[in-house]
Amino acid sequence: MSVLRGKHRFRLADGREAAVRTAAPGDSAALLRLVDEVAAEPQVPILRLPGTASEREVRNRITQAAAMGGDLFLVAVVGSEVVGSVQLHRDEHPRSQHVVDLGISVLRQYRSLGVGTALLETALAWAADEGFLKVTLGVFPHNEGAIRFYERHGFVREGLRRRQFVRERRELDQVLMARFLDEMPPVGRQTEQASGSAVGRDGRQGVGGES
């Protein structure tokens, strides 16, 4: 099973307490609202269109991530409110089992408070503990804040896939980024910087804006 042991608590930049924990099936409705809010943002941080996901789909993803080794689904909570999420998915190619793909989403009103960083650092620490060597993600070139965020956290650009996606007749490029866990100092879990916006290489929802 791929679950986080307990909760990783942290403090937002405004002083409020928050936590990162494993997603539970009961979070599916809140996660669906999160996805739809991020998907509706005008700067297009993720591929999914608002209203195209279902609560059942989100619940199935949570259940599958908990059951499968190499996958992880975490949420960030402030009080009882789900304000962000991160998903890790092991590369399915038999020669790339050391690679895991990452996507993050954070509600707009909770960005620049440390939520994205807490999610990212917790996910990276878990990946390192599990023996993964490389974490990959994709981000749209126009999301410059997200790119800067990932670069601050040790990610490097690996390439550009031109006209990779089409969303509402808009062609979108994708910047490929990666962090090599065996080439970096140990990752921390509780920092208070901003996060960015990413979409997984397979087109899964990713990060919503700067967090």
In a domain, residue 105? The reply is yes
The tokens for 70 are: 């190499």
In a domain, residue 86? The reply is yes
Structural domain harbouring 55: 8-180
In a domain, residue 164? The reply is yes
DSSP 49: P
In a domain, residue 190? The reply is no
Q: Is the pLDDT of residue 211 over 80?
A: no
In a domain, residue 41? The reply is yes
CATH number for the domain including 115? 3.40.630.30
In a domain, residue 163? The reply is yes
In a domain, residue 123? The reply is yes
What's the structural domain count of the chain? 1
pLDDT exceeding 90 applies to what percent of the chain?
73
In a domain, residue 29? The reply is yes
Q: What is the pTM (predicted TM-score) of this model?
A: 0.86
**What does the pLDDT look like over 24-66, one tens digit per residue?**
999 999 999 999 999 999 888 888 889 999 999 999 999 999 9
Strand order in the sheet with 99-106: 8-11, 17-22, 72-78, 81-90, 99-106, 134-139, 170-180, 156-167
Looking from the CA of 42 toward its CB, the CA atoms found within 13 Å total 0
